[in-house]
């Protein structure tokens, strides 16, 4: 087995760099005190060539770019545990990760963005988009495996493992922010089949977009209207409310005043940091302790696993650094057997209608966390 190049990160986490059989990058992140070594098996598979980079089409009605990534139709759909593509490879399961791991990150086999970057293709970056405009979907999509186990989620991991996950998020945010043409980095976890998850293995993803996303563009406009202290003022307002779920030394979790979803929680650092890469060791350590509390709490509200999206909102790479890093956890679950569907008003007009009073869901979440 080859001895992989290794990099020491914060708090004893170690990264080992490898390459899969088709040329995709693979990174192993070992827990502090892990029994694993830098010796790892190579990817022995014979793989088809990687799909061509998808294309983006410009919507002249909204000004948004839509990535048309048809290769995603070939994704594995809810495989049995013995064919889990995110488990460590075995003689009967030649998976995406060739050897044992604590946390693993690799390039997505069917990406929405990439693998090409702006240095590889002509992106027509100087052209003014209009009717019929298209460009290559340059960028990067990565899979983050939180654990080698077949089932679970972010919230089911021990704080020690979550510390490694946080380090991987921060490390990949810094690296992807340096990729030519990347404008924004987005780390997230989709949890539950009701959200659209196709693999039960505990994992998340990281997208590196070639543009600033529509949600963040609206956020930029809000900061410009209010001033650079928007997030400081929001945090002060929320911390004075009854909607605070957890208040730590470095982070606070609260149900926002204008929550859109039946279950919605924001986790914000007390210090202004624009992205995960800017957090320090103490902030990362406390985050690893806070995450299982709130994520296990969302399951305790109804007594069984709740589908959710955990989304890290980070500032664009090169500008608008007045945006503060925030984790937004949302669930469409509005009752034990009921989900909120984005129907006419939300889907067609983007006009949300809340089903649950934010103070009511905050009380339920606080009781669940206790």
Asked if 266 contacts 328 with a C-beta cutoff of 8 angstroms, the reply is yes
Q: Which of 244, 235, 241 is nearest to 269 (CA)?
A: 235
CA quadruple 304, 286, 104, 316: dihedral sign = positive
Catalytic annotation on 203? yes
CA quadruple 255, 261, 262, 263: dihedral sign = negative
pLDDT digits (tens, 9 = 90+) for 26-47: 999 999 999 999 999 999 999 9
Residue 300 backbone dihedrals phi, psi, to 5 degrees? -75, -20
The catalytically annotated residue of 16, 203, 313, 320 is 203
CA atoms of 171 and 78, how far apart (whole Å): 29
CA angle 313, 317, 319 (to 5 degrees): 100
Q: DSSP of 275-339, one letter per residue? A: SGGG--HHHHHHHHHHHHHHHHHHHHHHTS---EEEEEE---SSS-TTSPPEEEEEE-EEETTEE
Q: DSSP of 75-102, one letter per residue? A: ---S--GGG-TTSBP-SS---SB-S--S
Q: Minimum mean pLDDT among 28-42, 109-123, 185-199, 297-311: which range?
A: 109-123
- Fold (CATH) for 6-211: HIT family, subunit A (3.30.428)
Asked if 142 contacts 206 with a C-beta cutoff of 8 angstroms, the reply is yes
Q: What is the per-residue pLDDT for 126?
A: 47
Portion of the chain with pLDDT greater than 90, in percent = 92
Does 216-369 match 6-211 at the fold level?
A: yes
Other beta carbons within 10 Å of 246: 18
CA atoms of 339 and 286, how far apart (whole Å): 32
* Distance in angstroms between the alpha carbons of the first and the last residue of the chain: 47
DSSP state of 39: B
Other beta carbons within 10 Å of 88: 18
pLDDT digits (tens, 9 = 90+) for 293-351: 999 999 999 999 999 999 999 999 999 999 999 999 999 999 999 999 989 999 999 99
**So where are the chain's domains?**
6-211, 216-369
Q: Helix 214-226 and helix 230-239: axis angle, to 10°?
A: 90
Q: Could you tell me the pTM of the whole model?
A: 0.96
Q: What is the per-residue pLDDT for 370?
A: 87
CA quadruple 66, 206, 352, 70: dihedral sign = positive
Q: Which of 197, 200, 168, 206 is nearest to 288 (CA)?
A: 168
Which residues are CB-contacts of 361 (< 8 A; sequence separation ≥ 6)? Answer: 255, 259, 262, 263, 264
Residue 366 backbone dihedrals phi, psi, to 5 degrees? -65, -45
Highest mean pLDDT among 123-132, 178-187, 336-345: 178-187
- Fold (CATH) for 216-369: HIT family, subunit A (3.30.428)
Per-residue pLDDT band for 70 (boundaries 50, 70, 90) equals confident
CA atoms of 104 and 99, how far apart (whole Å): 10
CA atoms of 171 and 168, how far apart (whole Å): 5
């Amino acid at each position: 087995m080859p001895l992989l190049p290794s990099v020491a990160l914060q708090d004893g986490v170690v990264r080992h760099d490898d390459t899969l059989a088709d040329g995709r990058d693979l990174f192993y992140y070992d827990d502090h005190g892990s029994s694993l070594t830098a010796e790892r098996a190579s990817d022995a598979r014979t793989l088809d060539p990687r799909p061509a980079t998808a294309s983006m089409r410009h919507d002249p009605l909204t000004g948004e770019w839509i990535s048309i990534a048809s290769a995603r139709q070939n994704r594995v759909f809810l495989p049995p545990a013995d064919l889990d593509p995110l488990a460590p490879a075995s003689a009967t399961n030649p998976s995406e990760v060739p050897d044992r791991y604590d946390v693993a990150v690799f390039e997505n086999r069917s990406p929405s963005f990439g693998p090409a970057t702006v240095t590889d293709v002509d992106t027509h970056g100087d052209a003014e988009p209009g009717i019929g405009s298209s460009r290559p979907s340059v960028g990067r999509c990565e899979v983050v495996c939180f654990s080698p186990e077949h089932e679970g989620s972010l919230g089911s991991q021990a704080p020690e493992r979550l510390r490694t996950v946080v380090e991987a998020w921060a490390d990949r945010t810094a690296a992807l922010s340096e990729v030519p043409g990347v404008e924004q980095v987005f780390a997230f976890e989709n949890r539950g089949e009701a959200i659209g998850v196709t693999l039960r293995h505990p994992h998340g993803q990281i997208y590196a977009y070639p543009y600033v996303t529509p949600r963040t563009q609206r956020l930029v406009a809000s900061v410009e209207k209010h001033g650079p202290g928007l997030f400081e003022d929001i945090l002060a307002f929320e911390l004075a409310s009854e909607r605070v779920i957890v208040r730590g030394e470095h982070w606070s979790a609260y149900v926002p005043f204008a929550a859109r979803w039946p279950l919605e929680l924001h986790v914000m650092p007390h210090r202004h940091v624009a992205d995960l890469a800017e957090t320090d060791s103490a902030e990362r350590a406390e985050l690893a302790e806070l995450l299982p509390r709130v994520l296990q709490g969302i399951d305790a509200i109804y007594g069984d696993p709740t589908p959710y999206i955990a989304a890290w909102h980070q500032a664009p790479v090169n500008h608008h650094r007045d945006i503060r890093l925030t984790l937004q956890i949302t669930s469409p679950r509005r009752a034990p057997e009921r989900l909120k569907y984005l129907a006419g008003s939300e889907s067609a007009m983007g006009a949300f209608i809340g089903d649950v009073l934010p103070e009511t869901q905050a009380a339920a979440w606080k009781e669940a966390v206790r």
